[in-house]
Amino acid sequence: MTVFILYNQCYLHKLIIKYIYWLNTVVFLFNPLPCCILALTITTHHSRKFFSGKMGLFKAAGVVYKPVEEIDLGPDSNEFYLKANVKAPRMAGFLVKIFAWFLESRIIGTLLLYILKRNNLIHKLVSNATLEEAPMFVPLHPFVDLNEQEVEQIGSDASPAERVQRAMNCLPLTLEKSVDDSNSSSFRRWTIADYSRAYSSGEITPRKVAEQFINAVHESSRAALPMSFFINYDAEDILKQATESTLRYERGDPISALDGVPIAIKDEIDCSPYPTTGGTKWLHKVRPCTGDACCVMRLRSCGAIIVGKTNMHELGAGTSGINPHYGTTRNPYHPNKIAGGSSSGSAAVVSAGLCPAALGVDGGGSVRMPASLCGVIGFKPTFGRIPHTGVLPLNWTVGMVGILAGTLEDALIVYAAISGQLPSHEPTILPPKLLFPLLNSTNPISEIKFARYGEWFNDCSDEIRICCSNALHLLCEHYKWKTVEVTIPEIESMRLAHYLTIGSECTTSLSSALEKLDFAELGWDARVALRVYGAFNSKEYIKAQKMRNRQMQIHKNIFAKADVIVAPTTGVTAYSIFDDALKTGELDYINGAALVRYQISGNFLGLPAVTVPVGYDKEGLPIGLQFIGKPWSEPTLMHIAFAMQALCISHYRKPKVFYNLLHKN
């Protein structure tokens, strides 16, 4: 009765009554992504029970988790695979606004947030759960010598340019291709090595490439469907960098293979002379960019041309890349489809040929997911491997700088440039040496075992399941590698714990700014996300960190059985962009949940992971296969990804939107 009285005294009561049936049938579910809140339908029956008091506010019993040592990880385990509820309607436009208003109201919003957490199993699987593990707040991994095969050791004190050269020495010899050779029947993107050879031979100059890059970006912005690749780029600055690089080549003194190569940077990473917006219209006003992030400085020291700040989902809070402030980044393979988020622009510029590589930030699949949807390589190293200095502190313990590249070789070169010793204030336990995979070796690595959890692997569209299964079979057959069937328990619990963690860290990081912020400056989907993020409390955060420790132990036991975990990268291919979402964003739980299904362990547990394009669906949209490795196993992951790429690359297709920057005309 008290709730009913307070409800009717609310100044919004007329609006709430008008939409009570809608509220009784629709609530929103969290998308396990760094980043989004999406919709879940609950029954009118349960809503009425809640408002009539028959559903007690404190009756959400929690799971009692058994000790890790009692869990059967074998293929015949009785551990239950819990699928996400997929009965939610997609919402955009006016409905998103209405729901944001309800969530932001003091009384009805509190009730709705309780329903959200209860019906999405936050209470059962995390908040009220009983776990015997101690909390683990940062996924730092002690260094263990993995005795990796076919690697070259590089001193951790080597300069970025020296590391790039050593990485180039690890690449296979390839037939040189002239920049005028456009008659090849198979499609491939220009690589960093192609740029370097073309510049050194004088076939083309960095200045000419920069001019063609600027023209291409202008063209992409004027298209019937603007591609919205960039939030910010400065033609004058790009030409200045390119002119300096051209002069170095004319003197015969390029800094490295990266000299003159265009590299784009996600607008979550500091990069002068641009503001760091995080996809917002306001964040750069309260957090000015005062210089380059460490990773950007290292790229500059190798001579790379930094060509601007790529578009992203606002605050990284979504899977689609739809940004109401800077436009929706579109998929080069089909401009009516999403590019994925939140590193949408970085994936799209690589896919479209504007850059051979770009930097992103991966907090919940934000590099690997758009890479897969756009048909490129997405690589996320072990937590702590790449300096995080100069990256927006939206999520301290799950976010990592990652690399998007047209080929695995280019991912290795950029990885070589930006890895190495970290600033002293960053927590990590780096290995004593950097190890680069010898991709030019005639002796492929042997005895690789892939852990495959069948129910999880197959929880995707039929086209993805068949394509990824065939690719894995081909890989194992060609290299005599093996697949080990396993069970990975409590995947849904880990997803919710990760979501709770990234949401708590985001709101804590932005708390002082949000107190003064006019919420009208936020996109509507971001408003919903932040309202739900702010509903988590300290007890729930600590429970989530207990789950992190628990899953660390479970995955350690899985890695005792196999070298790598394999799964599709996403559960669906890129889906359609609708006009009603362009100005508000959208809440799409069905697609969002499918996109992030295979991403979480890489971020929550700090594990390295890589996605490789392995095929296309019936619409010609790319499909990716993902490999998740042991901590510090980047060389093994790269060997495997390179082997997979070698088997698929002859079948790669040219995107509908593609720019040939090395063409002299």
Which pLDDT tens digit goes with each residue over 431-458?
878 999 999 988 889 999 999 999 999 9
pLDDT at 427: 60
Nearest of 483, 490, 491 to residue 452 by alpha carbon: 483
Query: Cis (ω within 30 of 0) for the bond into 342?
Result: yes
Core vs surface per residue 331-356: b (16+ CB within 10 A) or e: bbbbbebbbbbbbbbbbbbbbbbbbb
Mean pLDDT of the 634-639 span: 98
Which positions are catalytic?
266, 342, 366
Q: What's the rounded mean pLDDT across residues 530-549?
A: 96
Find the radius of gyration of the CA atoms of the chain: 24
Angle between helices 94-104 and 106-119 (to 10 degrees): 100
pLDDT, position 235: 98
Question: Taking 80 as the threshold, does the pLDDT of residue 9 lie above it?
Answer: no
Q: Count Cβ neighbours within 10 Å for each residue of 146-185 and write b for 16 or more, e otherwise.
A: bebbbbbebeeebebbbbbbbbbebbeeeeebebeeeeee
Lowest mean pLDDT among 77-91, 429-443, 569-583: 77-91
pLDDT of residue 89: 76
| Tokens (6 digits) for 134 | 């101690």
Q: How far apart are CA 363 and CA 602, in angstroms?
A: 9
Question: Residue 343, SS3?
Answer: coil
pLDDT digit string, tens, across residues 451-463? 999 999 999 999 9
Answer for the pair 499, 389: CB distance below 8 angstroms, yes or no. Answer: no
- Range with lowest mean pLDDT among 152-156, 358-362, 474-478: 152-156
Least confident of 54-68, 112-126, 127-141: 54-68
Nearest-5° angle of CA 307, CA 372, CA 449?
A: 125
661 or 156, which is more confident? 661
Q: What does the block give as tokens for 532?
A: 């739900």
pLDDT tens column, 509-527: 999 999 889 989 999 999 9
d(CA 409, CA 192): 8
**pLDDT at 431 (0 to 100):** 81
Percent of the chain scoring above 70 in pLDDT: 88
Local structure of 281: helix, strand or coil: coil
pLDDT of 26 above 50: no
Please say if the pLDDT value at position 152 is more than 80.
Answer: yes
Residue partners of 58: CB distance under 8 A and separation at least 6: none
**How many CB atoms lie under 10 A from the CB of residue 45?**
9
Read off the pLDDT of each residue in 405-414 and give the average, rounded to a whole number.
98
Q: List pLDDT tens digits, range 193-228.
A: 999 999 999 999 999 999 999 999 999 999 899 999
**pLDDT of 592:** 92
Banded pLDDT at 58 (limits 50, 70, 90): low
Q: Which of the four pLDDT bands, split at 50, 70 and 90, describes residue 340?
A: very high
Give residue 342's identity as a one-letter amino acid code. Answer: S
Domains of the chain: 151-177+186-651 (3.90.1300.10)
Per-residue pLDDT, 664: 72
Taking only the tens place, the pLDDT of each residue in 125-145 is 999 999 999 999 999 999 888
Does the pLDDT of residue 37 top 80, yes or no? no
pLDDT of residue 27: 38
Confidence (pLDDT) at 40: 33
The pLDDT of residue 389 is above 70: yes
Alpha-carbon distance 78 to 544, whole Å?
24
Phi, psi (5° rounding) for residue 91? -135, 140
**pLDDT for the residue numbered 7:** 31
pLDDT of 355 higher than 50: yes
